[in-house]
Structure 1
Amino acid sequence: MDIKLIKQVVDLMKRSDISEFEYEEDGLKLRLSSKGADAPQIIHAAPVAQTAAPFPAPAAEAAATNTAAAPAAEEKGIAIIKSPMVGTFYRAASPESPPFANVGTKAGPDTIVCIIEAMKVMNEIQAEMSGVITEVLVENGEAVEYGQPLFKIKTA
């Protein structure tokens, strides 16, 4: 593992709401955790033993996630606007401002639907498709992951 990468992750954890981080590479597993204002601490860093079926649980979780997400994605004429990054989801530019997108909002490819804050940078997220917002899938101020569904949009 690259020590520079680990230092960057620790720095990111200090500046954000990320409280746990887990990474695995070339048979080495690293887990970082921070509680409150404490600096992130290495909880577990050890070689991972390779077995005939390495990681059956995550494979089962992925299968469960795929089957749960498949019906939503298969709804006719419904597309999903996904998060392009890890960060904090905001529906409006400020607490006093109205949300960028509500249920029923007509959106075009350039329409800003939310903001995702990552490393103290406010990133405006565009719909990248035309349609009508049918569902908001994330609460304001909630942490989001890369690829996490944010909105359902009726495209046809």
Structure 2
Amino acid sequence: MLKVQEIRELIKLIDHSQIDEFSYEANGTKVSMKKSGGQVVTEVPTPEEVSTPKAEAVKEQTSQPKQDAGNVEDAKEEPVSKTEFDKEITSPMVGTFYKSPSPDQDAYVKVGDKVKEDSIVCIVEAMKLFNEIEAEATGEVVEILAEDGELIEYGQPLFRVKTS
């Protein structure tokens, strides 16, 4: 089932695109959107059964690489890094993560860089739209959790910041 925030993001993306009609169906939930007079009209039927398999799948996906890696050092470093940050910058949408504005340019931020709330830290491409993601915190980037060109999920942590 889609969350309200995900539906809002879809509406925003459709509204700013040249798409006139959009339909999505998964797990018994169907979302249809049509532009009518320049506005997005959304229909979301209520599913018969409310479940959260998507949230569980996201938890499994984000924890699997560390478990499957079999690297004992990575497992030991995980608790240490948690004490070194106060805020995680998460993805507001599903899309493709890009650390720089274009392949031939430097990354927006690197580990050790200072950021402000309005600092752009990356781009998430969704439906051919490039969305600049802001830090929403003031501090120092202590960890980058996504790789350039990686497909990311809604709510997936992208950066860890030690706030100041």
TM-score, length basis structure 2: 0.55
Q: Give ranges in structure 2 of 5+ residues lacking alignment.
A: 1-20, 31-47, 64-78
C-alpha distance 22-73 of structure 1, shift in aligned 2 (>3 A): farther
Partner residue, 1:18: none
C-alpha distance 141-110 of structure 1, shift in aligned 2 (>3 A): same
Paired with 2:132 and 2:85, the residues of 1 have a C-alpha distance of 25
Contact 2:84–2:142 at 8 Å: present in 1 too? no
Partner residue, 2:126: 118
2:83 to 75, 78, 103: 75
1:24 Cα deviation after fit:
3.2
Partner residue, 2:152: 144
| Amino acid in the other structure paired with 1:93 | P
SS in 2 for 1:8: strand
TM-score, length basis structure 1: 0.57
Paired with 1:127 and 1:79, the residues of 2 have a C-alpha distance of 10
1:90 to 84, 94, 98: 98
Paired with 2:23 and 2:110, the residues of 1 have a C-alpha distance of 34
Partner residue, 1:23: 27
Paired with 2:85 and 2:152, the residues of 1 have a C-alpha distance of 25
Identity of aligned residues (%): 44
Count of residues paired in the alignment: 112
Partner residue, 2:22: 8
Partner residue, 1:130: 138
C-alpha distance 75-87 of structure 1, shift in aligned 2 (>3 A): same
1:72 Cα deviation after fit:
8.8
Aligned CA RMSD, in angstroms, stands at 3.6
Q: Give ranges in structure 1 of 5+ residues lacking alignment.
A: 1-6, 11-20, 30-48
C-alpha distance 73-93 of structure 1, shift in aligned 2 (>3 A): same
| Amino acid in the other structure paired with 2:153 | E
